[in-house]
Amino acid sequence: MWHQLRCSRLTANTSSCTNLVKKLLYQPNVVTPSMEYGLRNEYVAIKRFERDSGLSVTKFGLFVDLENGFLGAIIEVKYVPSAIPQGLMTTANENKGFFLEVMSENEMRLSRSHNCSYQIQGTLNITGRPVCYLVVMTDKNESL
């Protein structure tokens, strides 16, 4: 029984824990072309959201969970280059692993089984916010 309980947890003497710590602390920062594009266009995406929603966005840094100080969250803008050539609806229809899923002919939503959904839930929990606006901006000026 002890072995079963231990196997489902990260402990100080497990190699998976060691590898996780090394990955988190010592892995070099990776910057992809998509990340660079997202960083360059973050301001445009935020301004477009503010214009379209009538809300204002306040820029914050890192949020640290008050109860679990090892958890943190940031508010971020993501760029999805896979949706550029054919558009969001087509990409969601053709790629079941995409972060959006098609609900009807004119409606999409965040896939509840995609990592992005879990990231949002974690961010809401850590920041104590009741709402998250998922803003998806493409170069095609698609509305979502």
C-alpha closest to that of 12 among 21, 3, 4, 23:
21
- Cβ-based burial of 57 (10 A; exposed 0-12, middle 13-18, buried ≥19): middle
For 77-116, what is each residue's pLDDT tens digit? 777 776 667 888 888 888 888 889 999 988 999 999 988 8
Task: Provide the residue range defining the domain that includes 89.
Answer: 31-127
**Contact between 102 and 49 (Cβ < 8 Å):** no
Beta-bridged to residue 108, according to DSSP, are: 102
Q: Has residue 12 been placed in a domain?
A: no
CA distances from 91 to 16, 26, 124, 135, 142 (A): 35, 35, 27, 17, 13
Residues 121 and 117: their CA atoms lie apart, in Å, by: 6
Specify the number of domains making up the chain: 1
* Residue 67: predicted pLDDT: 87
Q: Has residue 134 been placed in a domain?
A: no
Residue 52 has pLDDT above 60, yes or no: yes
User: What is the residue type of 130?
Assistant: P
Residues 116 and 125: their CA atoms lie apart, in Å, by: 14
Q: Has residue 18 been placed in a domain?
A: no
Q: Has residue 48 been placed in a domain?
A: yes
Q: Has residue 47 been placed in a domain?
A: yes
Q: Has residue 7 been placed in a domain?
A: no
Residue carrying structure tokens 């990260």: 10
Please tell me the pTM assigned to this model: 0.69
Q: Has residue 133 been placed in a domain?
A: no
Q: Has residue 79 been placed in a domain?
A: yes
